[in-house]
Amino acid sequence: MARFLTRLTVLTLKKTPLFEIHKSHGARMVPFAGWEMPVQYSGVIDEHRAVRTKCGLFDVSHMGEIEVSGPGALDYVTSIMTNDIRRVVDGQCQYTLLCYEDGGVVDDCIVYRFSKERFLFCVNASNADKVFEWMLAQDSKGAQIENHSAQYAQIALQGPAAVDVLGEVFDINPDKIKHFHFYIGEIDIDGDTAEALVSRTGYTGEDGFEIYLAPQDAAPVWTSLMEMGKDYGIQPIGLGARDTLRLEMGYPLYGHELSEKITPIEAGLKKYVRPGRKFSGHSVLERQIRDGVEKTLVGIKMIGSGIPRAEYEVRFKGEKTGWITSGTSSPSLSYGIGMAMVEPHVGVPGTELEVIIRDRAVKAEVTTLPFYKK
């Protein structure tokens, strides 16, 4: 029975439009957020370094897309975001958080502003349905809220050579797209074209783009980018390297550095919270900004040998002070790094801590984020 249930779970996983391409590249596939996704191809370290030095291609079609439109769209979006979408112009995007009334995080996402009557939220795959239901439950201000996740595939092209590779197939010079701006254009696919929304965003700390397009265009666009990128050292990249890349930059991952029980202020994301106006959770977040928090997110650099892993205990002078939220052995820095939720009084850079690894207390110290700097 157990084997049957395991097999049934695998069979019910969703597949992106690039599933067969991943198999042809020899990817190792794993379950992730209800999807069957590539965790690695040539190996996490090799793929990580390819993105840092050349460029890599990621399938992120599992992400969710929710559109808000209509005459009340601007008022509605403003009322649910911690950031302020009124501070950006059409054609620009903005990182934000969505919070419950108690300050806990529903999700973190990027919002694309097409006009004051049309916005697109890119949300985490594991949260897409939850976010959509939560958005529907808020006062809509007369806006229309629709889950368009099935209408999009998404490919991320990241790395120092990303501009050059995309420039081979895009209908404008992609270097003209500013950071956190987007452009809707045409991508050449062997004599034909595919319409795509291309934003200069990413989750790696490198220059790059995220490409939104129709599911049927995903495979030919992927193939075209891989072909044009050969001279630039392009490689397909899996979820394993995506995680080590974001960790080196200190970027949060929902379910680790953010959750229903961790607020943006506790996660060190105060700059994405615009106080002085009403939005879901504003009173709690404003109080935390004013009065402080009981726990705070910090970077941890290992001094002793060992890799900090999520949920490992963190101690200060022998007493428990918190836990690791995410950790890895940094491919760029060649030592263990992690993020940890700790008591504020130990969150000063340079403070010596201990991480409990297999019942062994290993020396570490608090450090500033990001871990990796060019």
Sheet containing 182-189, strands listed edge to edge, beginning at the edge strand earlier in sequence = 182-189, 192-199, 208-213, 153-158, 55-59, 234-237
Report phi then psi at 142, rounded to 5. Answer: 90, 5
Is residue 257 within 8 Å of residue 246, measured between CB atoms? Answer: no
Instruction: Encode pLDDT of 69-112 as tens digits.
Output: 999 999 999 999 999 999 999 999 999 999 999 999 999 999 99
Q: What is the pLDDT of residue 11?
A: 60
Find all residues with CB under 8 Å of 95, minimum gap 6, and list them. 83, 108, 109, 110, 180, 272
Domain count, the chain: 3
Is 333 part of any domain?
yes
Number of other CB atoms surrounding residue 283 within 10 Å: 14
Instruction: Please state, in angstroms and rounded to a whole number, the distance separating the CA atoms of residues 83 and 80.
Output: 9
CA-wise closest residue to 59 among 21, 88, 99, 93: 21
161 shares its domain with 244: yes
Q: For 267-287, what is each residue's pLDDT tens digit? A: 999 999 999 999 999 999 999
Residue 121 lies in a domain: yes
- The verdict on residue 90 lying in a domain is yes
Looking at the structure, tell me whether residues 43 and 182 fall in a common domain.
yes
Calculate what percentage of the chain has a pLDDT beyond 70.
97
Q: The domain containing residue 68 runs over which residues?
A: 64-146
Residues of the chain falling short of pLDDT 70: 1-11
pLDDT at 8: 44
Q: Which of 69, 85, 70, 82 has the alpha carbon at shortest distance from 284?
A: 82
Q: Examine the domain organization and report whether 209 and 331 are in the same domain.
A: no
List, in sequence order, every residue forming a beta bridge with 353; answer none if it has no partner.
364
Same domain, 158 and 233: yes
- Final residue of a structural domain among 221, 248, 275: 248
Q: Has residue 309 been placed in a domain? A: yes
Same domain, 53 and 171: yes
- Grouping H, G, I as helix, E, B as strand and the rest as coil, residue 278 is coil
